[in-house]
Amino acid sequence: MIVQIEQMEQALQAPVMDAVIALSERIQTLQDNPEGRIYTAYRAIDQTLTLGYCVNIDAIGEQLRDRDFVVLDSRRGTRREQRLLLLTLKEIGIASSYSDNCFSASPNTVSHLKHLGWPLGRLNQGLKSRNTRKRFNLER
C-alpha cells in the first residue's frame, strides 16, 4: 500500500511541474506582450472557423473581414496558447481544413473548443442547434 502511494506521488510530480512551468511562461509572456490576443473568427459561406493569435486585433480583424470572416471573440493570450490548442485539436483527431488554423465549424469542434477554454463568443450560445447557420446566428 505504501509503495502504491509513493508511485502515485511520483507519477503526479511531472504533470504538476509541467503545469507550474506553463503557468509561469504564460504570465511572463503576457507581461512581455500585454496586447497579445487569441481569437476566433467565422466565415458563414463555408462554415469555417479560424483560430488565431495577434498583437493588434483591429488590424487582424480588417484582414479577416477581407476574407469574409467575422471575429466572434478574443481575449488576452499568447502565441504559445494558440500553438498548444492547435496541437491538442490535432491529437484528439480534429483535422484542420485548408490551413493549420482553420477548422470546420462542426458541433464537435465547437464543443472541444469550449472545453479547452478558447474564446467563442456567440458560438457558445448555439451548441445544441442542428443547423450551423441557425446555431451560430451569423447570417449577415
Place of cell 450560445: 125
Is 0.85 surpassed by the pTM of this model?
no
Residue 3 pLDDT: 73
Instruction: Mark out the alpha helices in the chain (DSSP H runs).
Output: 2-32, 57-66, 79-91, 107-115, 132-136
Q: Which of 88, 139, 80, 76 is nearest to 113 (CA)?
A: 88
Mean pLDDT of the chain: 82
- Mean pLDDT on 114-126: 87
Residue 24 pLDDT: 66
